[in-house]
């Protein structure tokens, strides 16, 4: 029995492609369990494939799957439906299964309107999918009713079976990284929060279940040994149990996993102790759902966090050299100029070094969606339209698109304008064992201003000046190769070649093997017409491929000058 698990393409292009690039972790868990039980499974990340691609037909012909499982989010359901129809045209016998959050809350809709969908797996999918595969394999359609957590058609009508109990011990699941490579990992399932716009509480339940720290770190270790060094810890609230998180961090350190990772948390769950261990174990960013500066709007969203908790979380996180990123939602009920100003005021107080601003979306499986259906008289049939999602403001007569777009611009502009001040205001822990980590944090932040994402944004003022200050602050904590290089590059950009060379010389005394610094120094010498000196730097580079073009230029210039080399 051959099973393909597909992460299908999205309807619309994304501004932040990275948001959709990775298949949901659930697909890997399902794949691992099926593999462990002896099935042939392949996971295909088709998030960015063109829907009309010949590759789809070719793959389906070559692979000849018996079952295709799709991981459905609201925004990729049309992509999945198109592939499902193509698959049925290639082989009418193939069984199509939809799973994931989109299928869980719209199973009736899919089974009513789309003949190409044979089954939906609802909620936590590993065991329902496995049992469904077994029932299909044995050709026992009557047995389907005994498979809990699925939906299908009987006599043309959609029905669902009983809900299974949540998996008691998550460690009973095979470690997916034994079989697959990926970077998004999760230690927990569930979130005790109950935000009105979020599908997590109904999908996973509000009781949080945990893997053991040993299982989780083993998962990282498999991946690390295969060369993966950066991870997204994608738990809804990784920090729900701080003792367990510290246990994970200590295990990462004990096993000497040289990794870095991002996490997500609620602001009311952090303290100094856990931040200390997280930073020590490689955490470099925590994203917090702040949502709004207006308490009224936060209450409507049922966020249940207070302004002082938000301030404390941002202050502590930054203090430990972890970049605190704030998620904001705008375009909520009651949004107006005043509430936007409240959000800007809060931004100025918490000084986030990164933000993401979203327009409030309405998704099935949320309290907001229930409210929308009730108030509008709409049904799930609204999803027959070729739309990815429903924006809340489109349903509220008090809000217009123009207003919302203007609010978004206002929020982003206020953040970008103030960002250099936020960076200057960073105060880091004075703990002696954090000197190198602090230097690393500041130089990484500086790099975003001088050569990274922020460098590209017109709206941010004084980028190079801010970067220089951060690089210098970094060097006050400890020697740092990124800081020397960054400063050398900025001076070079400003045509201050002597200063650039002096800084790089200083850096190369501490980091004599750093090829990037040698290259940069060589280029500064070339700009001064000092080709012999430039060659002195370039010829010391181990990987001379990068330096080759510059070397050739030096030889040519020296020849023209009649200098033998
Ligand atoms: S938004 Fe975050 S805190 Fe709120 S319910 Fe969802 S996962 Fe939990």
DSSP letters for 198-263: -SHHHHH-SS-EE--HHHHHHHHHHHHHTT--EEEE--TTGGGSHHHHHHHHHHHHHTT---EEEE
pLDDT tens digits along 81-93: 999 999 999 999 9
Closest by alpha carbon to 111, among 160, 162, 158?
Answer: 158
pLDDT value at residue 496: 98
* pLDDT of res. 18: 62
**Ligand 1 within 6 A of CB of 186:** no
Residue owning the nearest CA to atom 2 of ligand 1: 236
Global pTM? 0.94
Q: Report the relative pairing of strands 323-330 and 209-210 from DSSP bridges.
A: unpaired
User: pLDDT by residue (tens digit) across 15-39?
Assistant: 665 666 899 999 999 999 999 999 9
List b or e across 231-254, with b for residues whose CB sees 16 or more CB atoms inside 10 angstroms. Answer: bbbbbbbbbbbbebbbbbbebbee
Is ligand 1 within 6 A of the CB of residue 201? yes
Q: Is the distance from CB of 61 to CB of 90 less than 8 angstroms?
A: yes
Q: Which of 308-322, 325-339, 531-545 has the lowest mean pLDDT?
A: 531-545
Ligand 1 centroid to residue 302 C-alpha, Å:
9
199 within ligand 1 shell (Cβ under 6 A): no
Find the 190 Cα to ligand 1 centroid distance in Å: 9
Q: Which of 200, 290, 329 gets mutated to test ligand 1 (max ligand atoms within 8 A of its CB)? A: 200
Report CA torsion sign: 479, 485, 487, 491: positive
> Rounded CA gap, 322 and 41, in Å?
38
pLDDT of residue 55: 86
Report the nearest-CA residue for atom 8 of ligand 1. Answer: 193
Which DSSP state fits 148? T
Q: How far is the CA of 97 from the centre of ligand 1 (A)?
A: 27
**What's the pLDDT score for residue 50?**
75
Q: Which residues contact 141 (CB under 8 A, 6 or more apart)?
A: 135
Using DSSP bridges, classify how beta strands 150-154 and 40-45 pair: parallel, antiparallel or unpaired. Answer: unpaired
Collapsing DSSP to helix, strand or coil, 283 comes out as strand
Ligand 1 atom with the smallest distance to the CA of 198 is 6
Question: What pLDDT, in 10s, does the model give residues 95-114?
Answer: 999 999 999 999 999 999 99
287 lines ligand 1 (CB under 6 A): no
Phi, psi dihedrals of residue 7, rounded to the nearest 5°? -100, 105
For 483-492, the pLDDT digits (tens) are 999 999 999 9
The pLDDT of residue 422:
98
């Amino acid at each position: 029995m051959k099973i393909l698990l597909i992460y299908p393409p999205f309807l619309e292009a994304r501004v932040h492609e990275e948001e959709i690039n990775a298949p949901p972790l659930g697909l890997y868990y399902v794949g691992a369990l099926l593999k462990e039980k002896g099935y042939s499974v392949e996971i295909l990340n088709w998030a960015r494939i063109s829907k009309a691609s010949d590759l789809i037909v070719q793959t389906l012909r070559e692979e000849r799957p018996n079952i295709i499982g799709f991981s459905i989010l609201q925004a990729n359901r049309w992509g999945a439906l198109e592939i499902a129809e193509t698959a049925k045209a290639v082989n009418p016998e193939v069984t199509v299964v939809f799973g994931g959050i989109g299928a869980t809350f719209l199973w009736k809709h899919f089974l009513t309107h789309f003949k190409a969908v044979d089954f939906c797996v609802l909620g936590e999918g590993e065991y329902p999918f496995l049992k469904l595969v077994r029932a299909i394999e044995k050709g026992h359609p009557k047995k389907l009713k005994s498979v809990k957590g699925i939906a299908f058609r009987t006599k043309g009508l959609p029905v669902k079976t009983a809900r299974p109990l949540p998996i008691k011990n998550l460690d009973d699941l095979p470690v997916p990284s034994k079989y697959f490579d990926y970077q998004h990992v999760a230690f927990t399932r569930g979130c005790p929060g109950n935000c009105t716009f979020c599908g997590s509480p109904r999908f996973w339940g509000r009781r949080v279940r945990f893997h053991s720290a040993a299982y989780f770190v083993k998962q990282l270790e498999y991946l690390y040994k295969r060369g993966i060094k950066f991870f997204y810890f994608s738990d809804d609230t990784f920090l729900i149990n701080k003792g367990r998180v510290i246990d994970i961090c200590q295990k990462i350190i004990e096993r000497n996993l040289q990794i870095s990772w991002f996490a997500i948390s609620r602001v009311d769950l952090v303290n100094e102790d856990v931040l200390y261990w997280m930073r020590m174990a490689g955490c470099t960013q925590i994203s917090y759902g702040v949502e709004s500066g207006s308490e009224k709007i936060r209450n409507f969203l049922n966020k249940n966090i207070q302004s002082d908790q938000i301030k404390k979380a941002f202050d502590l996180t930054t203090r430990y050299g972890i970049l605190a990123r704030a998620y904001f939602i705008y375009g909520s009920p009651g949004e107006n100029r005043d509430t936007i100003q409240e959000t800007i005021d809060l931004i100025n107080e918490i000084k986030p070094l990164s933000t993401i601003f979203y327009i409030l979306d309405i998704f099935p499986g949320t309290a907001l969606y229930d409210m929308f259906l009730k108030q509008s008289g709409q049904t799930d049939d609204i999803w027959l339209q070729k739309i990815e999602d429903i924006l809340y403001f489109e349903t509220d007569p008090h809000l217009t698109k123009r207003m919302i777009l203007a609010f978004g611009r206002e929020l982003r502009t206020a953040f970008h304008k103030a960002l250099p001040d936020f960076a200057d205001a960073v105060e880091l822990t004075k703990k002696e064992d954090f000197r190198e980590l602090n230097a690393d944090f500041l130089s990484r932040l500086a790099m975003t201003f001088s050569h990274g994402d922020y460098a590209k944004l017109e709206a941010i003022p004084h980028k190079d000046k801010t970067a220089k200050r951060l690089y210098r602050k970094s060097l006050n904590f400890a020697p740092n190769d990124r800081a020397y290089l960054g400063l050398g590059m900025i001076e070079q950009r400003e045509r201050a070649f002597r200063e650039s060379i002096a800084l790089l010389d200083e850096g190369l005394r501490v980091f004599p093997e750093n090829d990037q610094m040698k290259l940069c120094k060589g280029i500064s010498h070339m700009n001064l017409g000092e080709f012999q000196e430039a060659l002195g730097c370039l010829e010391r580079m181990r990987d001379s491929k990068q330096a080759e073009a510059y070397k050739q230029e030096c030889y040519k210039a020296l020849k023209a000058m009649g200098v033998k080399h």
